[in-house]
Structure 1
């Protein structure tokens, strides 16, 4: 099982989650765990981008183009968010 996410991986969301848009923020219910998650605005955008396998670099490219954030901060925060999603078994991490 992959423990860390790096440039050699692609990430895609796992099936079995219900997502709703609530005033611009995404809220998700995991059918397998029975947990609710508030993804927020940017987390919701990341979730949308994970509809197809994408590398962390591709996510950061897209997010820095859409939001006012420097690349280093974005990479750090996206990495933390993805690690949380991975710990919750909400995403699949594959070798690219």
Structure 2
């Protein structure tokens, strides 16, 4: 984007800034998108914040308990297919 192509905005009396629609559409930032704000030597940097914090499989392993006997791979595949079919109907 060249100097003449830059979009501008204004800071409101409440400190709010409206991001131009073209930028929001390009980044797919809808209403309610959480942004991280960083002060850099070049200016202010806005980045979308992940919905979920980063985690590892080790941190999550075993967090969803299952009462009863362990399920086979075939049983799990059947349950996944059944749920996918249910969601497709909804």
Q: Report if TM-score (shorter chain) is over 0.5.
A: no
**Which of the pair has the greater relative contact order for Cα pairs under 8 Å at 6+ separation?**
1
The structure that is helix-richer by fraction is 1
- The TM-score bracket by the shorter chain reads under 0.3
**What TM-score does the superposition give when structure 1 sets the normalisation length?**
0.23
